[in-house]
Structure formats: structure tokens, C-alpha cells
Amino acid sequence: MTDEQTSRPARDASTHDYWEHAAATHGTKDTDRYYRLDDVVAGGTLMTELEEQAVAVATGADSADPLGRVAGLDVLHLQSHIGVDGVVMARAGARVTCADYSATALARAQELAARVGVAIETVETDARALPASLHGRFDLVYATIGAICWIDDIDLWMRQVSLALRPGGRLVMVELHPVYQMFDELSPDIVCDFPYGGGEPLTYTGSGSYADPTSTEESTTTSYAHSVAEVVTGGLRAGLVVEVLEEHLSIAFNPRGDDVLTLGDDGRHRFLLGRGTRPGEPPQPLPVAFSFVARKA
């Protein structure tokens, strides 16, 4: 066994506790602004169009039917949280494994799978040290919005992705853009407190979550900044071949539910800072998300 397979990177207990609590509560309250699980059980999806299109590109599906070619594929939903997108892909015929370090999240994923009437496998693991049982097994590793900011070492994470993929398999990543991640709020002051990259940590104490802003449970979490260049370079170093790298200037939902994004008349959220050339003129939008699809050589 290599060191990578045997070593267990240190886990931040406080951040893990936060995820255990979030997993127990997400999708259980009327105030939840994101996890509408009844909609999923009724046949809907919570995948954004960015996630669907990344899956479509990775599988060669028509963009009008983005999950049309996942049937029969082995998919690892990495840092799956309560497994919603994994369950949706299982319903479309994929053989899905949800992996997360939160046992509660995985139990919730199994609960959702049972409600939807599909089977999924769940594996409790640190994403920085995937067990050998997951190596070389997957056509797709799917890791999206809010995954890599919890990872201190992006190169190590990318090596795990590469280990999990079969030759020719693909990573499907859709993430919040690191420029957007830098900003915490725009008023009354512009708060820009998160580094752009370098794996730099930010420790935050507060209450509420992106899905459940009403939660009063206080927690302390540490997240890490990775620039787009570091993500892509991590993939290249891990033996992945870049197929798609796209930066997005708008998104269909407000992922953090804060005032950093502005909702436009077209129903899309943009990161608008300052103004355009003349007073009163809207500024050009900054990037809010990126998609990265890469193939294991």
C-alpha cells in the first residue's frame, strides 16, 4: 500500500461537527431555501443547469437531455452531503456511490434513495484518503458546489479523484468561483476576507447554513481557498487531461443566499461590484462559478 492509501489526514473536528448537524437538518424544515426533497421525490431535480451541462459534456449527452447518457455508468458522488444529485443520477440509471465523511449525511442519502425508489451505495470516508475499494471503479467522479473549499490540500484531493477513476473516466466539477468566494458581504461595507488561493484557511464562527439561514446552532468551521489555476494544475499533476474549463458570470440560484449576488430581471444571479463607466451604469459582472471537466488519461 502506498502512504496515500494508509495515511489518514488530520480531520478538523469542529468543521466535521458542523456538517453532521447540517446533514441532520437540511431538507427537514420549511425554512430550508435549497433542499426541497419533496420535489426530488416527485421526480424533480436540484441540479443547476451548470451541473447538468457539465454532466452532459462529460458523457456526450445532448444538452436538451443532460442526464440522457448516465445510465449504466459508475458514478462517484464525492462529498455528496445528503446525496440529492447522486440519487437523481441513480434515478436516471447510473450506479451511484455517495462518499462523504459525515455518517449522518450518508444516512440521509440512503433515506432519500429509498423514498425515490433507487439503490445507492454509501461510503463514509475522508475525500483526501479514499479507500482502495473505491479505486479504479468510476466512469464519473461528480463533485460540485461547496466541495473543495473544505479541502486543505487540493493536489491530494485531485490524486484521490484520479485514483477513483477508471482510465478514460472523467471528473465533473462545478464550483463557486474563487473571486466570488473572496467576498463575504457588500454592505454596509465590502468585506473581502477570504484569500484568492494558496490553500489559505479562513476560520469562521457563526450560525446558520447556506440552506438553513434560520438555524441558531453556533459552529466554527475552517475552509480553504483554491484558485482556478491551482484546481486545474492539481488535476494535471494527478494525470487528468483538461477537457472543459468554463467560468460563469451568472447562476440560476444564489448559492450562499447573501447580498453579494444581485438577482437580475432574467432570474439569474450576478456578482456586481461598483458601477460601469458612468454613474448609474451597471458594472460588468465578476465570475460566480466555474465548470471543470477532466479525463483520466
Residue numbers of the site for ligand SAM (CB under 6 A)? Answer: 19, 79, 81, 84-85, 100-102, 105, 126-128, 144-147, 150-151
Distance of alpha carbon 232 from alpha carbon 218, whole angstroms = 34
Q: Quick one: 21 or 273, whose CB is closer to ligand SAM? A: 21
Q: Quick one: 92 or 147, whose CB is closer to ligand SAM? A: 147
Q: Which residue is nearest to ligand SAM (CB)?
A: 146
Q: Quick one: 43 or 167, whose CB is closer to ligand SAM? A: 43
164 close to 137: Cβ distance less than 8 angstroms: yes
Cell numbers found for residue 77: 458522488
Least CB distance to ligand SAM at residue 224 (A)? 10
3-state secondary structure 47-84: CCHHHHHHHHHHHCCCCCCCCCCCCCCEEEEECCCCCH
Least CB distance to ligand SAM at residue 57 (A)? 18
Least CB distance to ligand SAM at residue 175 (A)? 9
Least CB distance to ligand SAM at residue 83 (A)? 8
Least CB distance to ligand SAM at residue 16 (A)? 7
> Given the C-alpha cell 481557498, which residue does it identify?
225
Q: Quick one: 59 or 79, whose CB is closer to ligand SAM? A: 79
Q: Quick one: 85 or 121, whose CB is closer to ligand SAM? A: 85
Spacing of C-alpha 77 from chain mean position:
10
